[in-house]
Homo-oligomer: A and B are copies of this chain.
Amino acid sequence: MERIREKIIRALSGRKLSYWKLLKEVSSPLVEVVQTLKDLLEKGEVIWDEEEKVLYLKEEGEEVPSFQCPACLGKGRVIKGEFEKAFLKYMEIAQNRPPSIPEYDQGFILPEDLVHKAILMHEKCDLENRKILILGDDDLFSIYVGLVGKCEKITVVEIDERLVNFINEVSSTEKLEIEVFPYDLSNPLPQQLKNSFDVFVSEPPESLEGFICFLTRGKEGLKERGSGYIGLTTLESTYEKWGEIQKWCLNNGFVITDILKNFSRYWERVQDWEKFYSHFRMLKELPFNPGPVDEDWYTSDLLRIERITPRKLQSQDLYMDEETWATPLSFSHGD
């Protein structure tokens, strides 16, 4: 809990923040943020201004500078070329998307962040000429990668009929040839989709059960050496839950190759979540009403996993094994 306390104090140092902006800054389990915030409010170290709907420190302090690159906003990559062209077209199309509904825990990732996901997949050789399986597609990622036009095949499985229809229509109008199956991910993957994809992409529900269920479907869909791109938050999942998820991955023949913090932001304005907020446990537990949402506060980390073939490695000593081809062999053996 200590780290969260410090993150809150640091975020508020020298400035006032809305609850939503604070959440974005600390990006830690809501369970722990709310508890720590309650404690800090009780002790009088943090103060809630009901009028302005902001939090601030009793002892003001100095603002802690951000080191985020202003050019790429911390992504390390820039959007350009065919990825930018497809992005502009996508923005036009996505205007007519069906609104998000809470029954299926839907939420839309910011289009810029979908583009970054596709660029990352491109860099990892997971896009061009690849067969992609998208498990749940309220983000309309299928349409974006369809517009980029590099994949060999794009397949979507989706429970929400409105989305199935929308993706089908766009696919037909834009000649994207996306294959869409209406399907409930709590059932095993249809036989014809098993072991046939190079890559799966998913933003699973955050409950441990739901997460593992979606991962299992991804595993069922993949070919040998296939990879998966999965969104996971530190908001609704403690690192204890992360540990369980990672164990599942390793016990099921995957390795984790990349973990990119706060990769995907969820789009408040468009998904119109606010009307569901009163149903969030977070708001019931919070000792104040945080007021209107003024930040895309819900972000998820991106995990990339890859199937491996476990095998025994031969170690020679502390410095050498059969893969250490850029370590000076003869020296460590003293010749």
- Interface residue ranges, A against B (CB under 8 Å): 2-3, 6-7, 10, 29-31, 34, 65, 67-72, 74-81, 83, 102-103, 105, 119, 122-125, 128, 186, 205-210, 213, 225, 235-244, 246-247, 250, 254-261, 276, 279-282, 285, 298, 306, 308-311, 313, 315-332
Q: Cβ of B279 and Cβ of A326 under 8 Å apart?
A: no
Given contacts A7-B125, A235-B326, 15 further A-B contacts (CB under 8 A): A3-B124, A69-B69, A69-B72, A69-B77, A103-B331, A207-B315, A207-B317, A207-B319, A209-B315, A236-B323, A244-B310, A279-B328, A279-B329, A279-B330, A281-B327
Known: A239-B257, A309-B240. Contact between A69 and B71, CB under 8 A?
yes
Q: Cβ of A125 and Cβ of B324 under 8 Å apart?
A: no
B-side contacts of A209, CB under 8 Å: 315, 317-318, 321
CB proximity of A325 to chain B, nearest CB, Å: 4
B-side contacts of A31, CB under 8 Å: 322-323, 325
Known: A103-B332, A225-B2, A225-B3. Contact between A240 and B313, CB under 8 A?
yes
B-side contacts of A102, CB under 8 Å: 328, 331-332
Choose from B239, B309, B321, B330 the contact partner of A208 (Cβ within 8 Å). B321
In chain B, what residue has the closest Cβ to A205? Answer: B319
A309 to B255, CA, bound (A): 22
Q: Cβ of A247 and Cβ of B250 under 8 Å apart?
A: yes
CB proximity of A184 to chain B, nearest CB, Å: 10
Q: Cβ of B329 and Cβ of A244 under 8 Å apart?
A: no
Choose from B75, B186, B255 the contact partner of A69 (Cβ within 8 Å). B75
B-side contacts of A34, CB under 8 Å: 325
B-side contacts of A298, CB under 8 Å: 326
In chain B, what residue has the closest Cβ to A298? Answer: B326
A247 to B250, CA, bound (A): 7
Q: Cβ of B65 and Cβ of A80 under 8 Å apart?
A: yes
In chain B, what residue has the closest Cβ to A330? Answer: B279
Q: Cβ of A326 and Cβ of B74 under 8 Å apart?
A: no
A316 to B310, CA, bound (A): 34
- The contact sample of 30 A-B pairs, CB cut-off 8 A, is A3-B125, A10-B125, A29-B323, A30-B323, A65-B81, A68-B78, A69-B69, A69-B77, A72-B72, A75-B76, A105-B327, A205-B324, A206-B319, A207-B324, A238-B323, A239-B255, A239-B257, A240-B308, A240-B310, A241-B321, A242-B257, A242-B308, A243-B250, A243-B308, A244-B310, A246-B250, A260-B260, A276-B331, A280-B325, A280-B326
- Interface pairs A-B: 4 shortest CB-CB: A71-B71, A69-B72, A279-B328, A209-B315
A123 to B64, CA, bound (A): 10
Q: Cβ of A282 and Cβ of B325 under 8 Å apart?
A: yes
B-side contacts of A285, CB under 8 Å: 325
A261 to B92, CA, bound (A): 33
A330 to B280, CA, bound (A): 8
A124 to B128, CA, bound (A): 35
